């Protein structure tokens, strides 16, 4: 990895670079809920939520892979059973929609519902009706997961849905802007490799770690 390809030392640096481009003072005039779209994005979302004096949460989702290629994601299912499909790949691999929706149902029942119930002690994602939602991640490899989270927030009745990302492929910009109210990003690249390529340090964040962060926030707020 060459030094000129590293744009962020770590998630903290990426968070404050994002804060620099967000209209924080204007945003503080309204109530926001900051939601991470991944485990890795949760520490970034935490810092930004703190800056906005906003509530913090995470939207759980899982990837659905091609039946013939376990590394090729062809769809995303979120914790509300919202499914977003990569139509070009599904057509290219001749994958039936029955497979996608059967798989999404299995993932929801066997993984997502259990994960959500454990994380929120039986409660679902807060009702987002008439709320301003800011979706956060550490970066995007593709826009599939973020698109699923945007659509989930919209279907839950959010007043507005904005996205803030430290780094993303240029090709994802139009896709996200087509349904999000606002998109904020520090860096976009025409030839995108992978998120971790552009961070000096990017440790894996586990479910247990985000649960500890949330529990600590709860204790600190009491």
Give pLDDT tens digits for 195-220: 999 999 999 999 999 998 888 775 55
Do 136 and 214 fall into the same domain? yes
- 135 and 183 part of one domain: yes
Q: What is the pTM of this model?
A: 0.93
Q: Is the same domain home to 53 and 138? A: yes
| CATH at residue 200 | 3.40.50.2020
For residues 105 and 86, give the distance between their C-alpha atoms in angstroms, rounded to a whole number. Answer: 17
Residues 6 or more apart from 124 whose CB is under 8 A from it? 79, 80, 116
Domain that holds residue 203: 3-59+126-221
Give me the number of domains the chain comprises: 2
Q: How many residues does the chain have?
A: 222
What confidence score (pLDDT) does residue 35 get? Answer: 97
Average pLDDT over residues 109-138: 90
Please check the confidence at residue 1 and state whether its pLDDT lies above 50: no
Q: What pLDDT shows up at residue 157?
A: 94
Same domain, 89 and 193: no
- Over residues 163-191, the mean pLDDT reads 97
Indicate the residue among 75, 103, 119 that finishes a domain. Answer: 119
Percent of the chain with pLDDT strictly greater than 70: 96
Mean of pLDDT values over 126-153: 94
Q: Residue 60 pLDDT more than 50?
A: yes
Query: Cα dist. 153→61, 118, 144, 190 in Å?
Result: 13, 21, 14, 28
- Longest Cα separation, the chain: 53
- The chain-wide mean pLDDT, for the chain, equals 92
pLDDT surpasses 70 at 70: yes
Q: 132-136 and 182-189: which strand pairing?
A: unpaired
Least confident of 33-42, 81-90, 158-167, 212-221: 212-221
Task: Please tell me whether residues 30 and 96 are part of one structural domain.
Answer: no
Residue 131 in this model has a pLDDT that exceeds 90: yes
C-alpha span between 193 and 185 (Å, rounded)? 17
Considering only residues 69 and 33, tell me which one the structure prediction assigns the higher pLDDT: 33
DSSP state of 133: E
Which residues, in sequence order, are CB contacts of 76 under 8 Å at separation 6+? 61, 62, 63, 64, 83, 84, 144, 145, 147, 148
The whole-number pLDDT of residue 220 equals 56
* Statement to judge: residues 101 and 165 lie in one domain: no
Does residue 34 register a pLDDT over 60?
yes
Looking at residue 127, its pLDDT comes to 78
pLDDT at 4 over 80: no
Model confidence band, residue 221 (pLDDT cutoffs 50, 70, 90): low
Confidence of residue 17 (pLDDT cuts 50, 70, 90): very high
């Amino acid at each position: 990895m060459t030094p000129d390809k590293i744009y962020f030392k770590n998630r903290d640096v990426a968070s404050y670079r994002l804060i620099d481009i967000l209209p924080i003072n204007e945003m503080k005039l309204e109530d926001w809920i900051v939601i991470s779209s991944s485990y890795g994005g949760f520490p970034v979302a935490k810092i930004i939520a703190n800056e906005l004096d906003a509530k913090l949460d995470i939207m759980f989702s899982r990837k659905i892979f091609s039946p013939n290629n376990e590394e090729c994601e062809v769809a995303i299912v979120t914790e509300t059973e919202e499914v977003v499909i990569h139509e070009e790949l599904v057509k290219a691999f001749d994958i039936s929609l029955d497979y996608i929706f059967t798989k999404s149902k299995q993932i929801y029942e066997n993984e997502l519902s259990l994960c959500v119930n454990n994380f929120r002690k039986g409660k679902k994602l807060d009702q987002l009706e008439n709320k301003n939602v800011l979706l956060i991640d550490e970066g995007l490899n593709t826009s599939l997961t973020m698109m699923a989270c945007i659509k989930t927030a919209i279907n839950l009745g959010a007043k507005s849905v904005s996205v803030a990302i430290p780094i993303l492929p240029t090709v994802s910009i139009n896709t996200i802007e087509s349904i999000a109210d606002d998109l904020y990003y520090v860096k976009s690249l025409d030839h995108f490799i992978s998120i971790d390529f552009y961070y000096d340090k990017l440790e894996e964040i586990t479910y247990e770690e985000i649960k500890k962060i949330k529990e600590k926030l709860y204790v600190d707020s009491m």
